[in-house]
Structure 1
Amino acid sequence: MWTKHHKKRYLGRLVMPAITAVFLTYFGYHSVHGEFGLKATERFDAQLIDRKARLATLVEKRAMIEKEVALLSDGSLERDMLDEKARFALNMSRPDEIVIFH
């Protein structure tokens, strides 16, 4: 009968905890600094706030443009609006007028 006697290795006891520590460190680092980590989430939230503010300004601008179009394309054409748009498009004015573009 053959028997093998193994020496007790103290290094063998540290292998599993070391591998576990390496995995926890890797995943812990990427959960904070990774592409979808905590810091990236903060950047996404800041970007969302900026884009919502920009959307609000664009919605206001679109409402103003839609109002102007409604005045131009309505059944009764507004003479003032037509005159204003024609002068702006042709870059013309009367000699006694002061024109301020905004």
Structure 2
Amino acid sequence: MVIRRRLRAIFFPLFLYCVSGAAAGYFVWHALNGERGLKANDEHQARIAQLHGQLDALKAESATWRRRIDLVNGAIVDRDLLDEQARVVLGRADKNDLVVMLPSK
């Protein structure tokens, strides 16, 4: 009887500590590695930063194109830009242009 009480007094708290430690470990592991954990949050923040960089690049490109379109479609047409675009589309060169022919490989 005395041995049984002594074993119960030792093993029962030990068992409770192990169960509570396992439960705490489970929640800590999922807080770090789960699909909504800290590591996933860091990955999401890195992806958001990457997408913001792409968005800024696309906004800059859009602004460039808007400026070029405004130069051609505006009330005052930029003659140099219009001439450049016409030459590109028609495949022509002006008599004052220097044309360099590169050999094809």
Specify if TM > 0.5: yes
Q: Which moved more, 1:88-97 or 1:35-44?
A: 88-97
Aligned residue number for residue 68 of structure 2: 68
CA distance in 1, matches of 2:15, 2:91: 81
| Superposition deviation, residue 54 in structure 1 | 1.9
Q: Which moved more, 1:12-21 or 1:76-85?
A: 12-21
CA distance in 2, matches of 1:93, 1:44: 51
TM superposition score normalised by structure 1: 0.69
Query: Which runs of 5 or more structure 1 residues have no equivalent in the other structure?
Result: 1-6
CA distance in 1, matches of 2:91, 2:66: 23
CA distance in 2, matches of 1:92, 1:41: 56
How is 1:45-56 mapped onto 2 (pairs within 5 angstroms)?
A: 45-56=45-56
Q: 1:25 to 1:91 in 2, by over 3 A?
A: farther
CA distance in 2, matches of 1:87, 1:27: 68
How is 1:11-90 mapped onto 2 (pairs within 5 angstroms)?
A: 11-90=11-90
Query: Which runs of 5 or more structure 2 residues have no equivalent in the other structure?
Result: 101-105
CA deviation vs aligned residue, 1:33-88 (integer Å, no higher than 9, x gap): 11121112222222222222222221111111110111111122222111112222
Aligned residue number for residue 93 of structure 1: 93
Letter of the structure 2 residue corresponding to residue 97 of structure 1 = L
CA distance in 2, matches of 1:90, 1:16: 85
Identity %: 27
TM superposition score normalised by structure 2: 0.68
